Homo-oligomer: A and B are copies of this chain.
Amino acid sequence: MSQLNNVLKSIDDGLPTALERLFDLLRIESISTDPAYKENCADAADWLSKELNEIGFQSRICKTTGHPMVLAHYHGVKDAPHVLFYGHYDVQPVDPPELWDRSPFDPKIIEREDGTSEIYGRGSGDDKGQLMTFVEACRAWISETGSQPCNVTIMFEGEEESGSPSLLPFLNEFKDELKADFALVCDTSMWDRETPAIATALRGNMGEEITIEAASRDLHSGYYGSAAANPIHILSKILADIRDENGRIVLDGFYDDVPEIPDDVLAQWGELGFSEEKFLGDVGLSVPAGEKGRSVMEQTWTRPTAEVNGIWGGYTGEGFKTVIPSQAHAKISFRLVGQQNPDKIRKTFRAFVEARLPKDCSVTFKSHGGSPAVHLDYNMPELQKAAKALTEEWSRETALIAMGGSIPVVGDFKRELGMDSLLIGFGLADDRIHSPNEKYELTSFHKGSRSWARILLALSS
């Protein structure tokens, strides 16, 4: 225990310099989905690889057809398990930039009146702040003890926010080098500000972009209004038709592979004291918008959904333009659960759209990737060990939860490398990830690093 105490004290004492390192990383504008930021993504990968080499890992950059991977090893620990840690260094776009109170890539510590502090900036919560908790735990172990409790491989991806096109080829090419006893993934949240959590289920997803094309050119709505097909009308109707009046998605067979959650699991979740009023109220809402007859917890954790994430067409500038545009566009994502198959859902969705087109209009589809849902085994010994270590750090029982988001890599680790993953993260629901004013709690960063230090030791026993 005294060795662990030294490591924890080293994390406490080193917090200011750890924050400086994190800020260096946060300043890099590594927006993976926008080709304009390609160099920045490469810079973030370089920064991380250099950092890991300095700590004592053997790290290198692995090129892909998209953004590079960082692959690092710290081996040679006898009679110890081997873990693969995963995080991603890419971040979401900052749109709409005018809604940020401060510059997204100039990170700051903001102290609140209640004495708590947040780390402000794009990527602080998703995922740079999170992945650095693990890096700082490794640094502390090595600097204090000259070694680590486990053999560790680290893999940092740069395409998590843009569909991970290079992930599967990479897992296949480096299969032998990546294989470990199990994976640790730090891209999830705590149950609440005081309660640590391990996520045991994640929704999958499937992204599509559709472009409806009507006339061969933009038209004047005075000349052609009502006679000429308006692609915005067609698109609106299609999007409106996706749900019935009970909020259920009407795609053929959509719910075929959606399981009902066992009563005992629902009962355990019931004990977490989730408040629908607070969850929605925190973002200014009060009416659950999903399937009727399902709780908000079900709507966000265990039920599939379809969300339009973007729509555009026609004149969107100042003033008015009486145009019937030739095209209208939407980006749509489906969250999947149970055994729902992304490819099958994509096919069904495309047929649904095509069936609703007038015969003189056309549609083009663009896939933005997909991955099935993930479910972990509650009885994994590693899960129990990690839960105990988290409880020791936070002095609260660790919650075993489901999450509405998607972390495709977890399914890929299972299918490609045969590895289970422990999903442990220190985000909070109000971190505004993917939104303007993203933040990460200073406590999450500090106690998150301490948590990993404890977990690495716990897993080695």
Contact = CB atoms under 8 A, between A and B. Distances in A.
B214 A285 contact: yes
A173 interface: no
Interface in A253-276: none
Interface in A201-232: 203, 205, 207, 209, 214-230, 232
A169 interface: no
A235 B328 CA distance: 14
Contact of A434 (B218, B311, B318): B218
Contacts of A214: 284-285
A287 interface: yes
Range for the number of chain A residues in contact with chain B: 35 or more
A395 B68 CA distance: 71
B225 A305 contact: yes
A163 interface: yes
Interface string A16-36: 000000000000000011110
Nearest to A359: B287
Contacts of A33: 317-321
A3 interface: no
Contact of A322 (B309, B358, B432): B309
Contacts of A290: 226-227
A6 interface: no
A236 B235 CA distance: 8
Contacts of A162: 319-320
Given A222-B405, A227-B299, A288-B227, A35 B318 contact: yes
Interface string A440-456: 00000000000000000
Interface stretch (A113-121, A150-158, A237-245): A237-245
B320 A226 contact: no
A209 B317 CA distance: 11
A309 B221 contact: yes
A310 B300 contact: no
Interface string A100-122: 00000000000000000000000
A241 B220 CA distance: 23
Given A221-B335, A291-B226, A406-B222, A319 B368 contact: yes
A460 interface: no
Contacts of A390: none
Contacts of A312: 311-313, 316
A217 B288 contact: no
Given A217-B284, A228-B289, A236-B239, 10 more contacts: A161-B321, A209-B320, A218-B432, A220-B405, A226-B303, A232-B330, A235-B236, A309-B321, A310-B316, A310-B325
22 contacts: A93-B315, A205-B322, A207-B322, A218-B434, A219-B434, A219-B435, A220-B433, A222-B403, A223-B403, A226-B247, A226-B290, A227-B279, A232-B330, A233-B307, A236-B240, A236-B308, A239-B240, A280-B360, A308-B314, A310-B321, A311-B313, A311-B328
